[in-house]
Structure 1
């Protein structure tokens, strides 16, 4: 399956990297590497995440980090919707 990122997920990952890099650039690179590796594994095993809190989504917890990926499977694509810290309120309330 092909991985597609939506803009909000790209922004989330960049924000995570920037925040961590302020104090520890090497740790930021390692976290981003772990997140990207987990997302890459989704192309081979798209069902590996748990059912998401938003209907039609799945959530993959990134082992060894406080982060999770929110994604959905659309035909032959996996759409990465968000990259979130586990402490973030998700889904957002209006």
Structure 2
């Protein structure tokens, strides 16, 4: 994703990657933030106004990023 953004949005790439990277850390304090995921045990954080969804699981004090999707992508 970072490589794509560096090519297509070089002036905003660092900011966008940072937002995607930082978003899951809020689940440590607010584990029910976001919506229930399409897959059991996952949470989905929509990064509005960005078109990205961060799919995560929370286990104790650890947050695991399962996948970062563009909003137009289908889960498979």
Q: TM-score higher than 0.5 here?
A: yes
Residues 30-54 of structure 1, C-alpha deviation per residue, up to 9 Å, x if partnerless? 1112112322222221210101001
Segments of structure 1 that go 5 or more residues without pairing to the other structure are 1-15
1:44 corresponding residue in structure 2 = 29
How far apart in 1 are the matches of 2:61 and 2:25?
A: 14
1:8 corresponding residue in structure 2 = none
Which of the pair has the greater relative contact order for Cα pairs under 8 Å at 6+ separation? 1
1:35 corresponding residue in structure 2 = 20
> How far off its partner does 1:26 sit?
2.1
Segments of structure 2 that go 5 or more residues without pairing to the other structure are none
Number of aligned pairs? 76
- 1:69 paired to 2:54: yes
- TM-score of the pair, normalised by structure 1: 0.71
CA contact (8 A) 1:46 1:78 kept: no
Which structure shows the higher helix fraction? 1
List 4+ stretches of structure 1 deviating above 4 A.
none
Across the aligned residues of Structure 1 and Structure 2, the Cα RMSD in angstroms comes to 1.4
2:4 corresponding residue in structure 1 = 19
Residues 43-85 of structure 1, C-alpha deviation per residue, up to 9 Å, x if partnerless? 2212101010011111110122000110112233221111111
How far apart in 2 are the matches of 1:27 and 1:20?
A: 8
